[in-house]
Structure 1
């Protein structure tokens, strides 16, 4: 059945391409194309395309695309303009349908880039019924060299789940991992993301734009988008025939990290563009304010290649990226027995506080991720726009233990305890039909095929295979002050597991005592509305259902998870998560002020969570806190947003707020591991030009995190477990498993400037994070039982174009 479905989808894809190619040859007088920034290559929304001496024209959409139909044959002057750019006029003889692209030059005036970005954000924010946070290339340049989670952590509604200073993953409105879908170059990122310490394998230098869509988005993106979507886009195909490049160099004081990236791009002839990019990061032990976090260094090497062909009928591109890293796991997180575990939780410093080192010792991880993305966009006269994407990914994750059984050769530590290889194929097709009256719409289909293989000494999860297929339809009705949208989707997933290893659950699988094959299917829907009730104000409402089947680790885990230093126990009886979410977003964009405030409520049936057990597990590798997967109805609700005020032409104040509340309705208590309340406030000052510098600034901000007081309490059982030999230490262990650390406040500084060096643009930025070297432990840090978070970090970034 799965093979038949896959074959049918391939036939549909090939048929669509054939139909599109035939339609392109039709001789009708229509012009269409894309308007881009000549420097960055980014699309320009809300640009006006006018056919001079006529009343014919169009406005570009949020992808920078425009289309003008029913244009009489003749010679015309076509003018394109948008705020912050020099207008461009082309004189052309139009005798048949053709694609006409424009690349506008930014105005050479102070703050023009910020003006253009404001217009771009205005177009995006007022066209979505859900809250969207966007980081442009200019904003990303201020965070180059950091992980995806660290890059996004200052956005409202986004926090990070951290496993030491080198591993962080984004948390969107209290949800992460399989509940937040990451799209990388149009392909859904698949890389053992079920692990709390399994961060997205994405080069921090490769992204040109990142968008975070907050809230359920299953209609358009399928399962796993129950909490939101993070879209990571590389730079578009080069449109400038001149050979160009960019160099980035970063230095981090806290862990003596050095990071660098190089990029070269150009064009071959009229239609072919290409780009090659590579980056390297190397870091040693991170430093808490009073000691080093031993064995937290890492080494990372990444590269990517993009090439594509662009013609009148559209564009096709091929993108390949490789991410590879080796990183250490905090040595003090792996404890030998319960007494030492309790002592470690009570200590002000970890057991191991050795001098700084770049060495990566055991326990450690080695990860590689290969991605191939094939994308085709075909613009036709009759069908509209057809988008076809195919992705292939191979993720290899090896985790090396710090211990081996007694009497075993120590060299066996070089054999991975876990050795997982995940293969993923994804394919999707989308048809964006031409406007029908006030209606715009998209019809699409998607297919994902996966297989996972164990090769290590032990196993946390079994071998498995999974196939997911879905179809959706989404329509939007647009008028002057109202935008209404609705969508519906059907998904089905087949997955099967085969036993590997000798764990209890593996043996039950082998004996057929628990099911190894499952089929999940559902229908999801969404309704949205945007009302622009004033020139500078709009109100967006969204209601959506979403779903997520239980993942393999939630069903079948049974063993020590080395990266998080905990013993995880799966639950084969888990059912499908289903959610119903409501969002309301108020937006304001004025001449000097900007505001976005979102209220949301997400009711989730069968919410799956990892809950601590009162008895730790003793293994041959040591003593580990035990966590078991459970399921209960839950409600998550909260508020997030930002406010910006341009007090003068050079002074700007800003703030953002994130609050989440989550309630376990079965246990009548808060859900565990929800983000603490967070407030960010800052001052941005533009500095005068001097000695050839421009766009200089100084920024001061503070991050205030409230102690989490919404957490479940554990009770010491009346009958102690037989493994407990120290009742007092055991009582401390149980009472502190869920106890949050104190709240904290951090002061941050940043200053940067641009200048000309050898006739080329160069940027210099220096930032200081945690200026006062404050000691703290974040509630979402997986190492908060053992050590403080990292202290002061001075970051120097240098970028140069050539």
Structure 2
């Protein structure tokens, strides 16, 4: 009997057990940020575990009951949730990235994976080591990027031969509006505010505007983890050349719920800089910055408020402002600047004083089926004053005083579905410029309102692990509503027959006009990426570009004081159009500890390219200045960038980069002006983390002479000692000689939170002139500079 009872109990137990296990729990594991499927995630429900497959799917058989669900993956935070199983279930598990990986995630959210775009980056370590530098000089650490200088403290980035309005600089996602058309208008940026800086070469990033045909500079602040902490840093630097330095203080408060408050302030002061054999009078600098941000963010929704303020007071080399044709000729041919003084911290005229405010509001929400929708509004106020050498009480007045107010709004939608994504958006901009007549000088830039609107769409498709493709298109509308005074003779000679409807009235020898100019631009881009293995990558993109002339190209009329030139615009300029091709070849080879080689050839053919060239010299009541005029031509540019990163041993790395650029004015069959000469940079770096993160590097930069340039001689009349007139030639065209510079850099952590670094630029105190410095006619570049950098983290 007992045998039958035992058998019956076993049968009942089996039936009950079968009934309890009659439920299936299946689902998918996804990235909460972009909804992509996650493979190799471990899904544990109770004591049963399974790993998600290549499609992120999993399936388990479970008894009825209450369970704890735990999902883990090396790149994501652990997922935990309670689950009641009383029927068949289908789950969708969304995982968030680990705090240490979130920076990469958010970068990809902003411009996704680079795809066919060619992107180079500068990380936080490099930014910190060069804390005493400015943005323009810092970006020259990237191949294909050079600096267009006005002296030594004003540097604008050049990407593949293009600069000014053709380069967009985005500060935390906001396109800077700071009278960027000016060659000597340095970006109002404090580099210490940013975690990394990305440079997109070429016109492929249509999301950021159709005018950025040269490239885009993305200034990215840090992305904060979710944790309760208060932390900060203090960076001090001092430098021998200029006998000055700066301080940068950062304070950050974080909470686990996603709230964060960040504030940062800096101050920099330099006196007169020094060339190897003499001082450079009035080349001091005083600048300060402050920024504040508050945010609450997670992968699905968030908002932020950011405020940035920068102030700059920059001296302009005194020897570049000359009083007569005779002085101008002598200054260009003198072995030393014609104005010198003992070292001083004073910043006298000529100088420029710039104040810039930026406020950004951003909010986003990631809807489960609709996609991610974000809204950004920004306000910018830029006040630029340029002081010239003037007589009497006028010397205390700025010769140029402009206030630029810019309002921008962007609505962006991103939809990601497995192997494809679609990003679309609209932009709107209203800009008002006021040139104060209280300067008692002719306005270089007139009063105007600018209205702009744009719409764009970017489609990306992943065919398989080896092939990616993308296509984008953009339409822009721009309107200039301008009030401008012309000399009546100039108006009658140049524009009266073409634009009679713009004339408002005449007064004395002046004519008031009211031009309203509309421009339409259509641009598109297509690119592919092929990555057959981890050792090789190929990218190719093609862009059809169209750019609206900027306000200076259309309406400049007078002395640009801090540039020491007279600029003449042309209201008849048309849209600048072109075709651009970019190729990137990357290879990783197992040579020693690893060799990486990257080659980026490019080609750009453009119609109606707007080119500024010297066309003469003009004698004014404030001195003698070269005249530069805007002309429209057909042109082509091509070149290549080479990058090599070779890890020779576990501690020693060689880094090399080289760039070549060819530019040709096809209309006049002459070389383009201000094309960067070929250059090669080499660095050997020794790093020993076990020695308190010790590093030491030696770098060399060879810049070759630019032998391709347009020769535009300017003829002036001078008088000899007997008062006899004779004709002399001013050579504003011929580039200087090649030069070779050496430098050193070293650093170590003294204590856990305290580090020290030393940089030596122009180690051998070499005399040289840079072709891309507009003041090269009057002095050599600055000599040796020893920089001490101290950083304390708390």
Give yes or no for TM over 0.5: yes
Map Cα deviations across residues 409-450 of structure 1 (whole Å, 9 max, x no partner).
Answer: x23222111110001111111111131x53222111111111
User: 1:753 maps to what in 2?
Assistant: 748
Provide the secondary structure at the position in 1 that maps to 2:195.
strand
User: 1:321 maps to what in 2?
Assistant: 308
Choose the corresponding residue for 2:434, options 453, 457, 471.
453
Q: CA deviation at 1:135?
A: 0.8
Q: 1:429 to 1:70 in 2, by over 3 A?
A: farther
Choose the corresponding residue for 1:737, options 711, 732, 740.
732
Residue 483 of structure 2 contacts residue 513 of structure 2 at CA under 8 Å; is this kept in 1? no
Q: CA deviation at 1:510?
A: 5.1
User: 1:496 maps to what in 2?
Assistant: 481
Unaligned stretches of 5+ in structure 2? 1-26, 85-90, 496-502, 506-510
User: 1:93 maps to what in 2?
Assistant: 82
Q: CA deviation at 1:30?
A: 7.8
Provide the secondary structure at the position in 1 that maps to 2:393.
helix
Map Cα deviations across residues 631-687 of structure 1 (whole Å, 9 max, x no partner).
Answer: 100101000020011111111111001111100000001001111111001111124
Taking the aligned partners of 1:516 and 1:74, their CA distance within structure 2 comes to: 73
Map Cα deviations across residues 200-225 of structure 1 (whole Å, 9 max, x no partner).
Answer: 10112111111000011363222321
User: 1:789 maps to what in 2?
Assistant: 781
Map Cα deviations across residues 508-550 of structure 1 (whole Å, 9 max, x no partner).
Answer: 7655797711111121111101111333101111001112111
Choose the corresponding residue for 1:266, options 235, 238, 253.
253
Residue 132 of structure 1 contacts residue 212 of structure 1 at CA under 8 Å; is this kept in 2? yes
Q: CA deviation at 1:504?
A: 6.9
Higher strand share: 2
Alignment partner of 1:54 is 2:50: yes
Q: 1:539 to 1:503 in 2, by over 3 A?
A: farther
Residue 127 of structure 1 contacts residue 530 of structure 1 at CA under 8 Å; is this kept in 2? no
Residue 602 of structure 1 contacts residue 637 of structure 1 at CA under 8 Å; is this kept in 2? yes
Q: State which drifts further: 538-547 or 703-712.
A: 538-547
User: 1:533 maps to what in 2?
Assistant: 532
Q: CA deviation at 1:568?
A: 0.8
1:396-411 equivalent positions in 2, closer than 5 A:
396-404=383-391, 410-411=392-393
Map Cα deviations across residues 445-503 of structure 1 (whole Å, 9 max, x no partner).
Answer: 11111110011332101011111111111111111110011111111111121125869
Q: CA deviation at 1:712?
A: 0.6
CA RMSD of aligned residues (A): 3.0
Provide the secondary structure at the position in 2 that maps to 1:138.
helix
Give the TM-score taking structure 2 as reference length: 0.86
Residue 718 of structure 2 contacts residue 728 of structure 2 at CA under 8 Å; is this kept in 1? no
Q: 1:312 to 1:628 in 2, by over 3 A?
A: closer
Taking the aligned partners of 2:705 and 2:355, their CA distance within structure 1 comes to: 37
**Number of aligned residue pairs:** 724
Provide the secondary structure at the position in 2 that maps to 1:341.
helix
1:365-764 equivalent positions in 2, closer than 5 A:
365-404=352-391, 410-435=392-417, 438-455=419-436, 456-458=439-441, 459-478=443-462, 479-499=464-484, 511=505, 516-590=515-589, 592-613=594-615, 615-687=616-688, 689=690, 693-714=691-712, 730-733=727-730, 736-756=731-751, 760-764=752-756
Q: 1:193 to 1:801 in 2, by over 3 A?
A: same
Residue 603 of structure 2 contacts residue 637 of structure 2 at CA under 8 Å; is this kept in 1? yes
Alignment partner of 1:276 is 2:263: yes
Taking the aligned partners of 1:98 and 1:792, their CA distance within structure 2 comes to: 59
Residue 761 of structure 1 contacts residue 800 of structure 1 at CA under 8 Å; is this kept in 2? yes
Choose the corresponding residue for 2:69, options 70, 76, 93.
76
Q: State which drifts further: 501-510 or 534-543.
A: 501-510
Q: 1:514 to 1:747 in 2, by over 3 A?
A: same
Choose the corresponding residue for 2:222, options 235, 240, 246.
235
Provide the secondary structure at the position in 2 that maps to 1:205.
helix
Residue 180 of structure 1 contacts residue 226 of structure 1 at CA under 8 Å; is this kept in 2? yes
Taking the aligned partners of 1:504 and 1:284, their CA distance within structure 2 comes to: 45
Q: CA deviation at 1:81?
A: 1.8
User: 1:20 maps to what in 2?
Assistant: none
Q: 1:714 to 1:70 in 2, by over 3 A?
A: farther
Q: 1:102 to 1:533 in 2, by over 3 A?
A: closer
Residue 30 of structure 1 contacts residue 68 of structure 1 at CA under 8 Å; is this kept in 2? yes
Q: CA deviation at 1:800?
A: 1.3
User: 1:14 maps to what in 2?
Assistant: none
Map Cα deviations across residues 58-117 of structure 1 (whole Å, 9 max, x no partner).
Answer: 99xxxxxxx9999999733232325xxxx86453337998875444569xxxxxxxxx99
Q: CA deviation at 1:620?
A: 0.4
Residue 342 of structure 1 contacts residue 730 of structure 1 at CA under 8 Å; is this kept in 2? no
Taking the aligned partners of 1:670 and 1:46, their CA distance within structure 2 comes to: 53
Q: CA deviation at 1:589?
A: 3.4
Q: State which drifts further: 423-432 or 89-98.
A: 89-98
Q: CA deviation at 1:352?
A: 1.3
Provide the secondary structure at the position in 1 that maps to 2:191.
coil
Taking the aligned partners of 2:146 and 2:342, their CA distance within structure 1 comes to: 31
Map Cα deviations across residues 94-146 of structure 1 (whole Å, 9 max, x no partner).
Answer: 7998875444569xxxxxxxxx99xx99x999843132110111221111131
Residue 514 of structure 1 contacts residue 572 of structure 1 at CA under 8 Å; is this kept in 2? no
Q: CA deviation at 1:321?
A: 0.5
Taking the aligned partners of 2:663 and 2:428, their CA distance within structure 1 comes to: 33
Q: 1:420 to 1:688 in 2, by over 3 A?
A: closer
Residue 617 of structure 2 contacts residue 627 of structure 2 at CA under 8 Å; is this kept in 1? yes
Taking the aligned partners of 1:540 and 1:665, their CA distance within structure 2 comes to: 29
Residue 30 of structure 1 contacts residue 71 of structure 1 at CA under 8 Å; is this kept in 2? no
Q: State which drifts further: 287-296 or 219-228.
A: 219-228
Residue 50 of structure 1 contacts residue 57 of structure 1 at CA under 8 Å; is this kept in 2? no
Alignment partner of 1:800 is 2:792: yes
User: 2:763 maps to what in 1?
Assistant: 771
Q: CA deviation at 1:403?
A: 1.7
Taking the aligned partners of 1:218 and 1:754, their CA distance within structure 2 comes to: 39
Q: CA deviation at 1:54?
A: 3.4
Provide the secondary structure at the position in 2 that maps to 1:625.
strand
Map Cα deviations across residues 240-289 of structure 1 (whole Å, 9 max, x no partner).
Answer: 31111111111111111211111111135724211111000011111100
| Structure exhibiting the larger radius of gyration computed from Cα positions | 2
Residue 577 of structure 1 contacts residue 607 of structure 1 at CA under 8 Å; is this kept in 2? yes
Q: CA deviation at 1:33?
A: 4.0
Taking the aligned partners of 1:442 and 1:711, their CA distance within structure 2 comes to: 42
Residue 237 of structure 1 contacts residue 274 of structure 1 at CA under 8 Å; is this kept in 2? no
Taking the aligned partners of 2:38 and 2:275, their CA distance within structure 1 comes to: 47
Residue 58 of structure 1 contacts residue 68 of structure 1 at CA under 8 Å; is this kept in 2? yes
Residue 694 of structure 2 contacts residue 747 of structure 2 at CA under 8 Å; is this kept in 1? yes
Residue 261 of structure 2 contacts residue 293 of structure 2 at CA under 8 Å; is this kept in 1? yes
Provide the secondary structure at the position in 1 that maps to 2:128.
helix
Provide the secondary structure at the position in 1 that maps to 2:728.
helix
Taking the aligned partners of 2:587 and 2:456, their CA distance within structure 1 comes to: 32
1:172-191 equivalent positions in 2, closer than 5 A:
172-191=159-178
Unaligned stretches of 5+ in structure 1? 1-27, 36-44, 60-66, 107-115, 405-409
